[in-house]
Chain A
Amino acid sequence: MSEEKSMSEQHEIITGIEAPIYLKYNFTAGAAPTRFLAQLKKGKLTGQCRAEPGAPVYVPPRGSCPATGLPTEQEVEVSDKATVQSFTIVHIPIPGNPIEPPFVVANLVADGANISFIHLMSECDNAEVHIGQRVQAIWKPEDEWDYAMDNIKYFKPIDEPDVPVEQIGKLPVTGLEG
Protein backbone atom coordinates (compact mmCIF):
# COMPACT_ATOMS: atom_id res chain seq x y z
CA MET A 1 0.00 0.00 0.00
CA SER A 2 1.02 3.63 -0.35
CA GLU A 3 1.30 4.21 3.35
CA GLU A 4 4.77 5.75 3.29
CA LYS A 5 3.63 8.14 0.62
CA SER A 6 0.54 9.11 2.54
CA MET A 7 2.66 9.61 5.67
CA SER A 8 5.00 11.93 3.80
CA GLU A 9 2.03 13.97 2.66
CA GLN A 10 1.01 14.36 6.25
CA HIS A 11 2.57 17.43 7.82
CA GLU A 12 1.14 17.19 11.27
CA ILE A 13 2.08 14.06 13.17
CA ILE A 14 0.10 13.49 16.33
CA THR A 15 2.51 13.38 19.27
CA GLY A 16 0.18 14.03 22.18
CA ILE A 17 -3.44 14.05 23.27
CA GLU A 18 -5.38 15.84 25.94
CA ALA A 19 -6.65 13.39 28.54
CA PRO A 20 -8.22 15.43 31.32
CA ILE A 21 -10.13 13.95 34.22
CA TYR A 22 -12.84 16.04 35.86
CA LEU A 23 -14.33 15.07 39.20
CA LYS A 24 -17.65 16.80 39.75
CA TYR A 25 -18.84 17.18 43.30
CA ASN A 26 -21.84 18.77 44.90
CA PHE A 27 -20.42 20.15 48.13
CA THR A 28 -22.86 20.46 51.02
CA ALA A 29 -21.67 22.66 53.85
CA GLY A 30 -23.60 20.90 56.62
CA ALA A 31 -25.41 22.57 59.51
CA ALA A 32 -22.49 23.99 61.51
CA PRO A 33 -20.43 25.33 58.59
CA THR A 34 -23.65 26.78 57.14
CA ARG A 35 -24.12 28.87 60.32
CA PHE A 36 -20.47 29.92 60.11
CA LEU A 37 -20.83 30.90 56.44
CA ALA A 38 -24.09 32.78 57.09
CA GLN A 39 -22.27 34.95 59.65
CA LEU A 40 -19.36 35.37 57.25
CA LYS A 41 -21.80 36.77 54.67
CA LYS A 42 -22.52 39.51 57.24
CA GLY A 43 -18.81 40.19 57.68
CA LYS A 44 -18.49 38.36 61.00
CA LEU A 45 -15.99 35.65 61.80
CA THR A 46 -17.58 33.21 64.25
CA GLY A 47 -16.51 30.08 66.03
CA GLN A 48 -18.53 27.49 67.85
CA CYS A 49 -18.00 25.76 71.19
CA ARG A 50 -19.73 23.50 73.68
CA ALA A 51 -22.15 25.36 75.91
CA GLU A 52 -19.90 25.45 78.98
CA PRO A 53 -17.48 28.00 80.39
CA GLY A 54 -13.95 27.82 79.00
CA ALA A 55 -14.85 25.34 76.25
CA PRO A 56 -12.49 25.56 73.25
CA VAL A 57 -13.68 27.67 70.31
CA TYR A 58 -13.40 26.20 66.84
CA VAL A 59 -13.01 28.35 63.72
CA PRO A 60 -14.18 27.09 61.29
CA PRO A 61 -16.68 24.95 63.20
CA ARG A 62 -17.54 21.42 62.12
CA GLY A 63 -20.48 20.93 64.49
CA SER A 64 -18.91 18.82 67.18
CA CYS A 65 -16.10 19.17 69.67
CA PRO A 66 -13.27 16.86 68.62
CA ALA A 67 -12.13 16.52 72.25
CA THR A 68 -15.47 15.26 73.60
CA GLY A 69 -17.66 14.51 70.58
CA LEU A 70 -20.35 16.80 71.99
CA PRO A 71 -22.16 19.25 69.70
CA THR A 72 -20.79 22.80 69.53
CA GLU A 73 -24.10 24.56 70.00
CA GLN A 74 -22.81 27.91 71.17
CA GLU A 75 -21.80 30.51 68.65
CA VAL A 76 -19.03 32.96 69.52
CA GLU A 77 -17.91 35.94 67.50
CA VAL A 78 -14.14 36.11 67.21
CA SER A 79 -11.84 38.91 66.06
CA ASP A 80 -10.61 39.40 62.53
CA LYS A 81 -7.19 39.91 64.05
CA ALA A 82 -5.13 36.75 64.16
CA THR A 83 -1.70 35.29 64.91
CA VAL A 84 0.53 33.32 62.52
CA GLN A 85 0.81 29.77 63.87
CA SER A 86 2.71 28.44 60.85
CA PHE A 87 3.15 29.40 57.22
CA THR A 88 4.58 28.37 53.87
CA ILE A 89 5.75 30.35 50.85
CA VAL A 90 4.15 29.01 47.68
CA HIS A 91 5.91 29.32 44.33
CA ILE A 92 3.27 27.88 42.01
CA PRO A 93 0.01 29.63 41.05
CA ILE A 94 -3.45 28.59 42.25
CA PRO A 95 -5.58 27.76 39.15
CA GLY A 96 -8.32 30.36 38.75
CA ASN A 97 -6.89 32.62 41.44
CA PRO A 98 -5.27 35.95 40.46
CA ILE A 99 -2.72 35.85 43.29
CA GLU A 100 0.85 35.89 41.94
CA PRO A 101 3.52 33.58 43.31
CA PRO A 102 5.47 33.65 45.51
CA PHE A 103 2.72 34.15 48.07
CA VAL A 104 2.23 33.14 51.68
CA VAL A 105 -0.32 30.58 52.90
CA ALA A 106 -0.59 30.54 56.67
CA ASN A 107 -2.30 28.74 59.50
CA LEU A 108 -3.83 31.64 61.44
CA VAL A 109 -5.54 31.61 64.83
CA ALA A 110 -8.12 34.36 65.26
CA ASP A 111 -8.20 36.12 68.63
CA GLY A 112 -10.84 34.30 70.66
CA ALA A 113 -10.35 31.02 68.74
CA ASN A 114 -8.39 27.96 69.79
CA ILE A 115 -7.66 26.35 66.42
CA SER A 116 -6.22 27.70 63.21
CA PHE A 117 -7.68 28.11 59.75
CA ILE A 118 -5.76 28.44 56.50
CA HIS A 119 -5.70 31.73 54.60
CA LEU A 120 -3.47 33.93 52.49
CA MET A 121 -1.13 36.65 53.68
CA SER A 122 -0.31 39.65 51.52
CA GLU A 123 0.98 43.24 51.66
CA CYS A 124 3.95 41.81 53.49
CA ASP A 125 7.59 41.00 52.84
CA ASN A 126 7.51 37.22 52.47
CA ALA A 127 11.00 36.95 53.95
CA GLU A 128 9.83 38.64 57.14
CA VAL A 129 6.76 36.50 57.80
CA HIS A 130 7.25 34.61 61.06
CA ILE A 131 5.47 32.52 63.67
CA GLY A 132 3.75 34.70 66.28
CA GLN A 133 3.30 37.59 63.84
CA ARG A 134 0.10 39.64 64.22
CA VAL A 135 -2.18 40.04 61.21
CA GLN A 136 -5.62 41.41 60.40
CA ALA A 137 -8.20 40.56 57.74
CA ILE A 138 -8.49 42.70 54.62
CA TRP A 139 -12.12 42.30 53.56
CA LYS A 140 -13.61 42.61 50.11
CA PRO A 141 -16.12 45.45 49.60
CA GLU A 142 -19.33 44.68 51.52
CA ASP A 143 -21.45 44.35 48.37
CA GLU A 144 -19.27 41.41 47.30
CA TRP A 145 -19.75 39.42 50.50
CA ASP A 146 -21.07 35.92 49.98
CA TYR A 147 -21.16 32.64 51.91
CA ALA A 148 -17.41 32.32 51.52
CA MET A 149 -14.16 32.56 53.41
CA ASP A 150 -12.75 34.61 50.55
CA ASN A 151 -14.89 37.54 51.68
CA ILE A 152 -11.55 38.06 53.36
CA LYS A 153 -9.10 38.73 50.54
CA TYR A 154 -6.05 38.07 52.70
CA PHE A 155 -4.47 38.92 56.02
CA LYS A 156 -2.00 41.75 56.37
CA PRO A 157 0.61 42.22 59.09
CA ILE A 158 -0.26 44.82 61.76
CA ASP A 159 2.00 46.72 64.09
CA GLU A 160 1.48 44.75 67.29
CA PRO A 161 4.04 42.81 69.33
CA ASP A 162 4.61 39.15 68.45
CA VAL A 163 2.69 36.58 70.43
CA PRO A 164 4.93 34.14 72.35
CA VAL A 165 4.65 30.64 70.87
CA GLU A 166 3.08 29.17 74.02
CA GLN A 167 0.27 31.74 73.86
CA ILE A 168 -0.66 31.23 70.21
CA GLY A 169 -4.20 29.87 70.06
CA LYS A 170 -4.94 30.98 73.63
CA LEU A 171 -5.63 34.69 73.21
CA PRO A 172 -8.98 36.18 74.24
CA VAL A 173 -11.09 37.90 71.59
CA THR A 174 -9.51 41.20 72.64
CA GLY A 175 -6.03 39.96 71.70
CA LEU A 176 -2.81 40.30 73.75
CA GLU A 177 -3.83 43.66 75.23
CA GLY A 178 -7.02 42.15 76.62
Chain B
Amino acid sequence: MSQPDILNQAFELGFTYTRSTGPVVGRFLTELKKRNIVGIKASDGRVVVPPMEYDPDTAEALSDFVAVGQEGEVVSFAWVKHPREAHPMDKPFAWALIKLDGADVPMVHCIAAKQESDVSTGARVKAVWADDTIGFITDIRCFELVKE
Protein backbone atom coordinates (compact mmCIF):
# COMPACT_ATOMS: atom_id res chain seq x y z
CA MET B 1 0.00 0.00 0.00
CA SER B 2 1.33 3.44 -0.85
CA GLN B 3 2.04 5.83 1.97
CA PRO B 4 -0.66 8.51 2.08
CA ASP B 5 0.25 12.12 2.64
CA ILE B 6 0.69 13.02 6.28
CA LEU B 7 -2.64 14.15 7.71
CA ASN B 8 -3.07 17.53 9.37
CA GLN B 9 -6.05 19.00 11.09
CA ALA B 10 -6.77 22.24 12.87
CA PHE B 11 -7.82 21.62 16.44
CA GLU B 12 -9.08 24.13 18.97
CA LEU B 13 -9.29 23.58 22.68
CA GLY B 14 -11.48 26.19 24.35
CA PHE B 15 -11.93 27.03 28.00
CA THR B 16 -15.07 29.16 27.96
CA TYR B 17 -14.61 30.87 31.32
CA THR B 18 -16.84 33.56 32.68
CA ARG B 19 -15.61 35.67 35.57
CA SER B 20 -17.53 37.44 38.28
CA THR B 21 -16.40 41.02 38.44
CA GLY B 22 -17.39 41.89 41.99
CA PRO B 23 -18.60 45.34 43.07
CA VAL B 24 -15.41 47.29 42.29
CA VAL B 25 -14.38 46.01 38.86
CA GLY B 26 -18.08 45.66 38.05
CA ARG B 27 -18.53 49.38 38.81
CA PHE B 28 -15.52 50.24 36.63
CA LEU B 29 -16.96 48.26 33.71
CA THR B 30 -20.46 49.64 34.27
CA GLU B 31 -19.02 53.16 34.07
CA LEU B 32 -17.09 52.26 30.90
CA LYS B 33 -20.37 51.24 29.33
CA LYS B 34 -21.55 54.79 30.03
CA ARG B 35 -18.28 56.15 28.61
CA ASN B 36 -16.97 57.24 31.99
CA ILE B 37 -13.68 56.21 33.53
CA VAL B 38 -13.54 55.83 37.32
CA GLY B 39 -10.75 55.10 39.73
CA ILE B 40 -10.78 54.52 43.45
CA LYS B 41 -9.18 56.48 46.28
CA ALA B 42 -6.62 54.58 48.33
CA SER B 43 -5.93 55.26 52.04
CA ASP B 44 -3.01 57.56 51.20
CA GLY B 45 -5.18 59.62 48.87
CA ARG B 46 -3.82 58.21 45.61
CA VAL B 47 -6.39 57.64 42.88
CA VAL B 48 -5.92 54.18 41.37
CA VAL B 49 -7.24 53.40 37.86
CA PRO B 50 -8.56 50.81 37.15
CA PRO B 51 -9.99 50.71 40.67
CA MET B 52 -8.68 48.01 42.98
CA GLU B 53 -10.71 46.22 45.61
CA TYR B 54 -8.31 46.47 48.55
CA ASP B 55 -5.91 49.13 49.71
CA PRO B 56 -2.34 48.33 48.64
CA ASP B 57 -0.96 49.42 52.05
CA THR B 58 -3.62 48.64 54.64
CA ALA B 59 -5.56 45.88 52.79
CA GLU B 60 -8.79 47.66 53.81
CA ALA B 61 -11.68 47.29 51.38
CA LEU B 62 -11.94 50.38 49.14
CA SER B 63 -15.14 52.00 47.96
CA ASP B 64 -14.46 55.71 47.33
CA PHE B 65 -14.88 55.92 43.55
CA VAL B 66 -13.50 58.97 41.73
CA ALA B 67 -14.16 59.99 38.16
CA VAL B 68 -10.99 60.68 36.20
CA GLY B 69 -10.34 62.35 32.87
CA GLN B 70 -10.48 60.77 29.44
CA GLU B 71 -7.15 62.30 28.55
CA GLY B 72 -3.79 61.57 30.04
CA GLU B 73 -0.06 61.29 29.63
CA VAL B 74 2.09 58.48 28.30
CA VAL B 75 4.31 57.21 31.11
CA SER B 76 5.96 54.52 29.03
CA PHE B 77 5.18 52.47 25.94
CA ALA B 78 6.21 49.54 23.77
CA TRP B 79 5.68 49.59 20.01
CA VAL B 80 4.19 46.42 18.52
CA LYS B 81 5.45 46.03 14.95
CA HIS B 82 3.70 42.77 14.19
CA PRO B 83 0.33 42.54 15.93
CA ARG B 84 -0.90 39.06 16.73
CA GLU B 85 -4.42 37.72 16.48
CA ALA B 86 -5.26 38.40 20.13
CA HIS B 87 -4.09 42.02 19.94
CA PRO B 88 -6.62 44.86 19.91
CA MET B 89 -5.44 46.20 16.53
CA ASP B 90 -4.48 44.56 13.27
CA LYS B 91 -1.88 47.16 12.38
CA PRO B 92 1.18 48.30 14.34
CA PHE B 93 0.29 50.05 17.61
CA ALA B 94 1.73 50.82 21.05
CA TRP B 95 1.02 49.22 24.39
CA ALA B 96 1.31 52.02 26.88
CA LEU B 97 1.09 52.97 30.52
CA ILE B 98 -1.20 55.99 30.53
CA LYS B 99 -1.71 58.23 33.56
CA LEU B 100 -5.15 59.73 33.15
CA ASP B 101 -5.83 63.26 34.37
CA GLY B 102 -6.86 63.00 38.01
CA ALA B 103 -5.26 59.58 38.47
CA ASP B 104 -2.03 58.90 40.35
CA VAL B 105 -1.35 55.46 38.91
CA PRO B 106 -1.03 54.71 35.18
CA MET B 107 -3.12 52.05 33.49
CA VAL B 108 -2.26 49.84 30.55
CA HIS B 109 -4.03 50.40 27.27
CA CYS B 110 -3.19 50.67 23.60
CA ILE B 111 -2.39 53.72 21.50
CA ALA B 112 -3.24 53.94 17.81
CA ALA B 113 -0.53 55.83 15.95
CA LYS B 114 0.83 55.81 12.41
CA GLN B 115 4.40 55.08 13.43
CA GLU B 116 6.57 54.48 16.45
CA SER B 117 8.24 57.89 16.25
CA ASP B 118 4.85 59.58 16.75
CA VAL B 119 4.63 58.17 20.29
CA SER B 120 6.78 59.47 23.11
CA THR B 121 6.92 59.45 26.88
CA GLY B 122 5.06 62.50 28.15
CA ALA B 123 2.83 62.69 25.06
CA ARG B 124 -0.82 63.58 25.64
CA VAL B 125 -3.43 61.01 24.60
CA LYS B 126 -7.20 60.74 24.77
CA ALA B 127 -9.60 57.81 24.93
CA VAL B 128 -11.46 56.77 21.77
CA TRP B 129 -14.68 54.95 22.57
CA ALA B 130 -16.05 51.93 20.75
CA ASP B 131 -19.22 52.49 18.70
CA ASP B 132 -21.13 50.18 21.02
CA THR B 133 -20.07 49.98 24.65
CA ILE B 134 -20.86 46.76 26.47
CA GLY B 135 -19.10 47.04 29.84
CA PHE B 136 -15.68 45.68 28.93
CA ILE B 137 -12.18 47.14 28.82
CA THR B 138 -12.39 47.26 25.01
CA ASP B 139 -15.17 49.86 25.37
CA ILE B 140 -12.14 52.14 25.21
CA ARG B 141 -11.18 51.12 21.70
CA CYS B 142 -7.77 52.76 22.06
CA PHE B 143 -6.09 56.01 22.95
CA GLU B 144 -4.93 58.42 20.31
CA LEU B 145 -2.47 61.27 20.38
CA VAL B 146 -3.83 64.71 21.19
CA LYS B 147 -2.60 67.25 18.68
CA GLU B 148 -1.12 70.12 20.63
Contacts and interface: CB of A to CB of B under 8 A. Distances in A.
Decide whether A and B assemble into one complex: yes
Given A3-B65, A14-B30, A27 B11 contact: yes
B7 A28 contact: yes
A37 B8 contact: no
Contacts of B59: none
B9 interface: yes
Interface in B6-41: 6-21, 26-27, 29-30, 33-34, 36, 38
Contacts of A23: 12-15
Nearest to A9: B34
Interface residues of B, number: 32
A147 B52 CA distance: 52
A18 B19 CA distance: 6
A21 B14 contact: yes
Given A17-B18, A21-B15, A26 B26 contact: no
Nearest to A39: B1
Interface residues of A, number: 32
A29 B8 contact: yes
Given A3-B67, A10-B30, A22-B13, A17 B19 contact: yes
A33 B29 CA distance: 49
A153 interface: no
A13 B26 contact: yes
Contact of B36 (A6, A12, A17, A37): A6
A18 B11 contact: no
Most chain A CB within 10 A, of B9, B12, B136, is at B9
Contacts of B69: none
B58 interface: no
A3 B65 CA distance: 9
A30 B9 CA distance: 11
Interface in A118-149: 147
A39 to B, nearest CB: 8
Given A6-B36, A28-B8, A34-B7, A19 B19 contact: yes
A29 B17 contact: no
A75 interface: yes
Given A14-B135, A15-B21, A21-B15, A75 B10 contact: no
Interface of A: 1, 3, 6-7, 10, 12-31, 33-35, 37-38, 75, 147
